[in-house]
């Protein structure tokens, strides 16, 4: 399987971490979006929406993008019995994992991108209205967590993996998570869960490098 990726890309990091959990051996295809490699003809033929991560299953010709779809496909295809909790078969449990994955895609990660990424990709100044939307989304997640260990209950699932990458990136951007004690506690549990699967190497370093790029671009914009 070919995985088109960039280490600083948060959704790529979620897929790389899952690869470690499942013991998968991706053919890694570095795709530097800063240098426009995602706009080249060959890549556009694979994924016309030019986003990474993109997974190409060479045996079947299946090409997938949208990291959360890649995550559920990989667990469904390659998960063993010990991975069942990541994406439960039982319908209600699975629906709750899907709900939180969609919450990340449509709300929490989207509002993170809306606030921080114009600085990274366009050198723009921060927009306070976007900050308020991100704070609101974090408030939603704080409320969703209630007193659960993980987002959908006692077990670590794909929803926690995806949301952990999002929230740890927000933290690395030095955003104030103090008003969200449940999120801080949950984040520590997720980091702990992912530590044996290359969390520091894959996610922490990616978080730091993207935050460094953000800081440099913000300084230049001022």
Question: Judged by CB under 6 A, does residue 51 bind ligand GSH?
Answer: yes
Q: Which string of x and - marks every residue 92-121 that binds ligand GSH (by CB under 6 A)? A: -------------x----------------
Residue 175's Cα: distance from chain center in Å?
Answer: 17
* First-last CA distance in the chain: 43
User: Rounded CA gap, 78 and 87, in Å?
Assistant: 12
Between the CA atoms of 184, 113, 13 and 78, what dihedral angle is there, to the nearest 10 degrees? 100
Of 8-37, binders to ligand GSH (CB under 6 A) are 9-11, 33
- At 79, list the tokens: 């998960």
Segment interacting with ligand GSH (CB under 6 A) among 51-59, 72-80, 132-140, 176-184: 51-59
Segment interacting with ligand GSH (CB under 6 A) among 47-55, 137-145, 147-155, 180-188: 47-55
Is 162 one of the annotated active-site residues of the chain? no
Question: Judged by CB under 6 A, does residue 168 bind ligand GSH?
Answer: no
Point out which residues pair with 56 in neighbouring strands. Answer: 2, 63
DSSP state of 105: I
Segment interacting with ligand GSH (CB under 6 A) among 3-11, 17-25, 94-102, 139-147: 3-11
Question: Judged by CB under 6 A, does residue 161 bind ligand GSH?
Answer: no
Identify the active-site residue in 9, 67, 151, 162: 9
Shortest distance in whole angstroms from residue 52 CB to ligand GSH: 4
Contact 87, 76 (CB under 8 A): yes
Contact 55, 14 (CB under 8 A): no
Sole binder of ligand GSH in the list 67, 72, 166, 168 (CB under 6 A): 67
Query: Considering Cα of 210, then 111, then 69, then 149, what sign does the dihedral take?
Result: positive
Q: Could you list the active site residues?
A: 9
């Amino acid at each position: 399987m070919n995985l088109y990726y960039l280490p600083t890309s948060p959704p790529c990091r979620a897929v790389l971490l899952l690869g470690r959990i499942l013991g998968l051996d991706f053919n890694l295809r570095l795709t530097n979006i800063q240098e426009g490699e995602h706009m080249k003809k060959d890549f556009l033929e694979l994924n016309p929406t030019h986003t990474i991560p993109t997974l190409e299953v060479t045996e079947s010709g299946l090409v997938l993008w949208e990291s959360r779809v890649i995550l559920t496909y990989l667990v469904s295809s390659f998960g063993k019995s010990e991975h069942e909790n990541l994406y439960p078969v039982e319908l209600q449990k699975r629906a709750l994992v899907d709900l939180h994955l969609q919450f990340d895609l449509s709300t929490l990660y989207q509002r993170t991108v809306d606030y921080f990424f114009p600085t990274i990709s366009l050198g723009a100044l921060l927009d306070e209205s976007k900050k308020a939307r991100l704070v609101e989304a974090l408030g939603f997640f704080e409320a969703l967590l209630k007193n659960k260990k993980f987002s959908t209950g006692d077990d670590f699932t794909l929803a926690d993996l995806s949301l952990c990458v999002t929230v740890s990136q927000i933290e690395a951007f030095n955003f104030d998570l103090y008003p969200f004690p449940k999120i801080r506690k949950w984040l520590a549990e997720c980091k702990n869960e992912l530590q044996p699967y290359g969390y520091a190497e894959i996610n922490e370093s990616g978080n730091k490098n993207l935050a460094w790029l953000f800081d440099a671009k913000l300084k230049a914009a001022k």
